[in-house]
Amino acid sequence: MSSLAGCPLCETPGGAVVFEGHGFRVVRAQEPNLPAFWRLIWTAHAREFSDLPAADRHRVVDALVCIEEVVRARLQPTKVNIASLGNVVPHLHWHVIARFDWDTHFPSPVWCEAQRAPDADRLAQLSARCDQADALIAQALAAAQPDQTAF
């Protein structure tokens, strides 16, 4: 199916759109304490990663790596987390999150309880660099994927 009535990721962007095309969109999650948090959302409603044909799966993974490479180069995170969970919203989406040893949740996953209070100064600096990363991610994805058929 291409879209599912009532599915939040069929009916809303799921974040601030950074790139759209080639069967998916990349958004930045609007998490004030975790600004370096991107999502790749498959446009059509699919439940599991294995529901996609192999070529589409490789396209998704190449895009995740493209995001990771920009994030590593621009933000120098302690670690990058990549995950497709979907227990609450079972529409295929991947999280790419740059983690820092000072962030509110490190080393726990971002979905668990916070470990410490936010560091306002570092968050402000990181947020500004994430805005720059957004533009670079959009450029890199557009350059890597000049059109849908030749991807």
Binding site for a second copy (CB under 8 A): 47-50, 54, 57-58, 61-62, 64-65, 68-69, 72, 78-88, 90, 99, 106-109, 111-113
Q: Which is nearer to a second copy, 85 or 135 (CB)?
A: 85
**Nearest distance from residue 125's CB to a second copy, in Å?**
21
Task: Return d(Cα 28, Cα 90) in angstroms, integer.
Answer: 19
**Nearest distance from residue 52's CB to a second copy, in Å?**
9
Residues recorded for the chain: 151
Q: Which is nearer to a second copy, 17 or 100 (CB)?
A: 100
**Nearest distance from residue 57's CB to a second copy, in Å?**
6
Q: For 149, left (φ over 0), alpha (ψ -120 to 50), or beta?
A: alpha
Contacts for 47-55 with beta carbons within 8 Å, 24 or more apart? Answer: 47/86, 47/90, 47/91, 47/92, 48/86, 48/92, 49/84, 49/92, 51/92, 52/92
Q: Which is nearer to a second copy, 8 or 109 (CB)?
A: 109
